[in-house]
């Protein structure tokens, strides 16, 4: 059984529905990320798990213990650690006091409190800063204090709400790996909230993509990227070209091979193995990622999904080129890993690899 179970969770603020009947499971020792655009209800979901919000409906079970249905369990009794988006490091206490605050509430000897605190300080790399006030720390250090404070009591569950969003880009990347390895090592079950898809990909074992109060898809980073459940997920994670069209034929012998008539005027073959089942006449989007489009100067021999287009714009992004190609007036984004001799305004041929081309609704 899952370690955290969220059952039919519903939470509204006056007339805004923030969380709309969510079902979600988090397995023991895994890091699950709630990912979604701003305002989709990630923070609210996390706060419901922490007990900082009281949902109107549903239940949350942590380690087989219901938090709501058998009486509301106060946040202080849930055995969780939480890292707040703004850290919430108490400005009137020194680092050490901040960290041992929760330990002091347990009946522990002074000595073991100190030992545990030093252990955690060492773990997050804050040794020697115990006697500082938060105002004397950098943003990154404050972030570590918040992390240490959340970890010090060996919580069953660690909740993190965009813990890295206030850090600069370099530090953010470094901390991603640190948090991940730390949580792995300690074997804590963690729920991580972010709206940064790259961060989610790096840090999570599984990702739950949310949109306007609902969970749209749950899966490993590879699942979410490679097999998005719908257009929203595909668009939110990475970049995707959507070609609006209509299904014209589904091959009888091979259910995964579907022909779609698109705005390009051409019929496209989509044969990704996990495509959703469709019937002819259905309005769908043939979708392909920019890196799955191949580029040719001259038309290659007998390839499926071959189209001709004009380069509208070339964008140099350092490690690769991003080109915008107009095909019959529709723009398609293509990522090319190397130098491209053609200039803007010139023609080229594109092959939309049928194996990578998927059908989304």
Partner 1 sequence: MTRGNILLATLLWSVIAFLVVYPLSILVVESFKIAETGTWGISNYLEFFEDAYYLKIFGNTLVLSTLVLLSTTIFGVPLSYILARYRHWGKTVFTALILLPIVLPAYAGVFAFIIFFGKYGTVNLLLMEMGLIKTPINFIYGLHGLVCIQTLHMLPFIALSLSAGFTNIDPSFEEAAEVEGASGFWRFFTVTLPLCTPSYLAGAVIVFLWPFTDWLTPLILGQVDYLPSIAYINIAYHFTDMHRKYMGIVAVVVSSAVCIILFLLAKWWVERKKYTGLSKGTTSEGRVIEPGPLIKVGSYVYMVCIAILVLLIPAVLGLAAFSRRWVFEPFPTYWTLDNFRLILLETPLLIKNSFVFSGVALFFGIAFGLPAAYLIVRTRVPGKDALDFVITLMLAFPGMAVGVSYLLAFWQAIPLATHWVIMPLALFARRLPYFLRMAHSSYLQLDISLEEASEVSGAGKLRTFLNISLPLLLKGVLVGVVMFFIMAFQEISTAIFLYRGGWETLPIGIYLNWHRGMEFGIAAAMAFLMIVVTFILLLIISRIGGGVLKAAWGPGGT
Ligand X SMILES: Nc1ncnc2c1ncn2[C@@H]1O[C@H](COP(=O)(O)OP(=O)(O)OP(=O)(O)O)[C@@H](O)[C@H]1O
Which residues make up the interface to partner 1 (CB under 8 A)?
Answer: 50-52, 74-78, 80-82, 84-92, 101-102, 105-106, 135, 142, 146, 149-150, 153, 159, 162, 165-166
Query: Which residue number, 35 or 268, has a Cβ lying nearer to ligand X?
Result: 35
Question: Residue 75 binds which one of ligand X, Mg ion, partner 1, none, with CB within 5 to 8 A depending on kind?
Answer: partner 1
Q: How far is the CB of 297 from ligand X (least distance, A)?
A: 44
Q: What b/e string do you get for 171-182 counting C-beta neighbours within 10 Å, with b at 16 or more? A: bbeebbebbbeb
Strands 80-83 vs 157-161: parallel, antiparallel or unpaired: parallel
Distance CA 65, CA 3 (A): 10
Reduce the DSSP state of residue 117 to 3 states and report it: helix
Question: Residue 220 binds which one of ligand X, Mg ion, partner 1, none, with CB within 5 to 8 A depending on kind?
Answer: none
Binding site for ligand X (CB under 6 A): 13, 16, 18, 36, 38-44, 195
Distance CA 45, CA 10 (A): 9
Region near Mg ion per CB under 5 A, out of 37-45, 135-143, 237-245, 303-311: 37-45
Strands 57-62 vs 65-66: parallel, antiparallel or unpaired: antiparallel
Region near Mg ion per CB under 5 A, out of 35-43, 174-182, 251-259, 280-288: 35-43
Q: Which of 30, 33, 40, 43 binds Mg ion (CB under 5 A)?
A: 43
Distance CA 315, CA 344 (A): 10
Query: Which residue number, 80 or 233, has a Cβ lying nearer to partner 1?
Result: 80
Distance CA 84, CA 163 (A): 6
Distance CA 217, CA 211 (A): 10
Query: Which residue number, 43 or 241, has a Cβ lying nearer to Mg ion?
Result: 43
Region near Mg ion per CB under 5 A, out of 43-51, 62-70, 75-83, 232-240: 43-51
Query: Which residue number, 60 or 233, has a Cβ lying nearer to partner 1?
Result: 60
Query: Which residue number, 54 or 174, has a Cβ lying nearer to partner 1?
Result: 54
* Helices within the chain (DSSP H only): 42-50, 95-105, 110-124, 139-151, 169-186, 197-203, 221-226, 231-236
Question: Residue 16 binds which one of ligand X, Mg ion, partner 1, none, with CB within 5 to 8 A depending on kind?
Answer: ligand X
Query: Which residue number, 224 or 325, has a Cβ lying nearer to ligand X?
Result: 224
Query: Which residue number, 19 or 159, has a Cβ lying nearer to partner 1?
Result: 159
Q: How far is the CB of 193 from ligand X (least distance, A)?
A: 6
Q: What's the angle, vertex CA 137, arms to CA 140 and CA 177, rounded to 5?
A: 15
Element at 190 (helix H, strand E): strand 189-194
The binding site for Mg ion (CB under 5 A) comprises 43
């Amino acid at each position: 059984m899952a370690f955290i179970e969220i059952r039919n969770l519903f939470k509204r603020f006056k007339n805004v529905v923030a969380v709309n009947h969510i079902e979600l499971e988090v397995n023991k020792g895994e890091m699950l990320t709630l990912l979604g655009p701003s305002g989709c209800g990630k923070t609210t979901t996390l706060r419901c798990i922490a007990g900082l919000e009281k949902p109107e409906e549903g239940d949350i079970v942590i380690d087989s213990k219901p938090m709501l249905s058998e009486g509301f369990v106060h946040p202080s009794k849930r055995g969780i650690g939480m890292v707040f988006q703004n850290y919430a490091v108490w400005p009137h206490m020194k680092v050490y006091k901040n960290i041992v605050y929760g330990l002091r509430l347990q009946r522990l000897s002074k000595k073991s409190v100190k030992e545990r605190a030093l252990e955690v300080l060492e773990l997050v790399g804050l040794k020697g800063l115990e006697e500082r006030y938060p105002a004397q720390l950098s943003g990154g250090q404050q972030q570590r204090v918040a992390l240490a404070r959340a970890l010090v009591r060996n919580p069953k569950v660690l909740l993190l709400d965009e813990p890295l969003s206030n850090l600069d880009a370099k530090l953010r990347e470094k901390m991603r790996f640190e948090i991940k390895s730390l949580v792995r090592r300690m074997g804590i079950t963690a729920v991580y909230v972010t709206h940064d898809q790259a961060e989610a990909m790096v840090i999570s074992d599984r990702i739950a993509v949310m949109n306007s109060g609902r969970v749209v898809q749950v899966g490993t980073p590879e699942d979410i990227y490679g097999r998005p459940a719908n257009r929203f997920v595909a668009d939110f994670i990475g970049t995707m070209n959507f070609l609006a069209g209509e299904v014209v034929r589904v091959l009888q012998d091979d259910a995964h091979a579907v022909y779609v008539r698109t705005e390009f005027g051409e019929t496209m073959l989509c044969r990704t193995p996990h495509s959703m089942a469709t019937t002819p006449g259905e309005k769908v989007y043939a979708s392909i990622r920019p890196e799955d489009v191949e580029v040719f100067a001259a038309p290659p021999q007998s390839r499926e999904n071959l189209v001709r287009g004009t380069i509208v714009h070339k964008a140099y992004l350092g490690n690769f080129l991003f080109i915008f190609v107009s095909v019959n007036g529709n723009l398609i984004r293509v990522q090319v890993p190397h130098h491209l001799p053609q200039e803007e305004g010139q023609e080229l041929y594109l092959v939309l690899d049928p194996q990578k081309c998927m059908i989304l609704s």
